[in-house]
C-alpha cells in the first residue's frame, strides 16, 4: 500500500489509531507509519494514535483530537470556561474530563490533560460543530463549572469563589443556575452541593 491510498482512506477522519488500520487492512505493514512519520506526512499523537500533519492548519482540530485520543472524554474545566468567555485567562492546555484514569499527553498539536470522574458523572456535554463539520464534545457552561468545583474541593468560601474571577455578565445573563443545581444534585455529594450554594451566593444568583 502506498501513502496516497492510505491518505485517501483516512484523510476524512483526520486522526486514526493502529487498531482501526488493521481492521481495515489486516496485512498492513506497520513500518509504513514510521516512514511516513519521518517524512512528516503524519504526526504521532500518543501511543497507537496518529493524525495527518496537514491537519494542523484546520481551526479547532487540536480540540477535535482531544475527544479522539482518549475516550470516553469531553472538553471541560478551564478550556470550556475560556471557550464560553467565563474566565479571563487564555488557556493553552486542552483540559478534558474522562471516566478513565487521569492522564496527560503532549504532541505537535498541543498539550492535553484528562481528569478522572466517576462514570455516573459523565453527563452535561454536547457536540459543538467545527468549521469543517466535525463535532467536538464540550461540557455545557454549567457542567464545566461543576466539574471544576468537583475536582477542586479547596474552593469553599465566597472569597475562594470570587477568586475564580467568573465573568459577572455571563453569570447573570447566560448561566443557568437551575441547571447548575440540578447537575449538582446528580453527584449525590452534600459537600459539593453546599459549595455550589456558596458560589451562587458569591455571584448573586
pLDDT in tens, 49-77: 999 999 999 999 999 999 999 999 999 99
Query: In whole angstroms, what is the distance from residue 28 CA to residue 99 CA?
Result: 32
Q: Give the three-class secondary structure for 73.
A: strand
Mean pLDDT value across the chain: 95
Mean pLDDT calculated for residue range 33-45? 97
Please give the pLDDT value at position 66. 97
CB 80 within 8 A of CB 66: no
For residue 176, give every residue at least 6 positions away whose Cβ sits within 8 Å of its Cβ, in sequence order, or none: 141, 142
Please give the pLDDT value at position 1. 80
The confidence band for 19, taking pLDDT boundaries of 50, 70 and 90, is very high
The confidence band for 132, taking pLDDT boundaries of 50, 70 and 90, is confident
Please give the pLDDT value at position 50. 98
Give the percent of the chain with pLDDT over 90.
93
CB 183 within 8 A of CB 120: no
Tell me which H or E stretch contains 110: strand 110-116
Please give the pLDDT value at position 68. 96
pLDDT in tens, 110-130: 999 999 999 999 999 999 999
Mean pLDDT calculated for residue range 85-96? 92
* Nearest CA-CA partner of 48 in 134, 122, 107: 107
CB 44 within 8 A of CB 37: yes
Query: In whole angstroms, what is the distance from residue 21 CA to residue 24 CA?
Result: 5
The confidence band for 205, taking pLDDT boundaries of 50, 70 and 90, is confident
Query: In whole angstroms, what is the distance from residue 130 CA to residue 156 CA?
Result: 36
Phi/psi at 163 (5° precision): -65, -15
What pTM was computed for the model? Answer: 0.94
The dihedral built from the CA positions of residue 23, 29, 32 and 33, taken in this order, carries a sign that is positive
CB 205 within 8 A of CB 177: yes
Please give the pLDDT value at position 173. 94
Q: Give the side-chain half-sphere CA count within 13 A for 109.
A: 30
Indicate if the pLDDT at residue 4 is higher than 90. Answer: yes
Tell me which H or E stretch contains 49: strand 49-52
Please give the pLDDT value at position 136. 96
Give the percent of the chain with pLDDT over 70.
100
* Nearest CA-CA partner of 117 in 90, 153, 155, 82: 153
Please give the pLDDT value at position 90. 80
Amino acid at each position: 500500500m502506498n501513502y496516497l491510498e492510505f491518505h485517501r482512506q483516512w484523510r476524512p477522519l483526520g486522526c486514526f489509531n493502529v487498531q482501526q488500520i488493521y481492521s481495515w487492512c489486516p496485512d498492513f505493514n506497520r513500518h509504513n507509519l514510521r516512514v511516513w512519520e519521518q517524512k512528516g506526512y503524519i504526526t504521532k499523537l500518543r501511543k497507537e494514535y496518529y493524525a495527518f500533519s496537514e491537519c494542523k492548519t484546520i481551526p479547532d482540530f487540536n480540540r477535535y483530537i482531544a475527544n479522539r485520543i482518549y475516550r470516553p472524554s469531553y472538553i471541560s474545566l478551564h478550556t470550556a470556561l475560556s471557550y464560553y468567555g467565563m474566565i479571563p485567562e487564555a488557556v493553552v492546555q486542552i483540559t478534558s474530563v474522562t471516566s478513565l484514569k487521569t492522564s496527560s499527553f503532549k504532541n505537535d498539536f498541543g498539550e492535553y490533560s484528562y481528569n478522572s470522574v466517576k462514570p455516573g458523572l459523565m453527563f452535561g456535554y454536547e457536540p459543538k460543530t467545527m468549521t469543517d463539520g466535525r463535532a467536538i464534545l464540550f461540557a455545557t457552561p454549567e457542567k464545566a463549572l461543576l466539574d471544576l468545583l468537583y475536582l477542586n474541593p479547596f474552593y469553599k468560601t465566597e472569597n475562594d469563589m470570587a477568586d475564580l474571577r467568573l465573568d459577572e455578565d455571563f453569570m447573570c445573563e447566560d448561566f443557568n443556575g437551575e441547571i447548575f443545581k440540578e447537575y449538582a444534585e446528580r453527584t449525590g455529594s452534600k459537600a459539593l452541593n453546599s459549595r455550589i450554594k456558596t458560589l451562587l451566593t458569591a455571584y448573586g444568583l
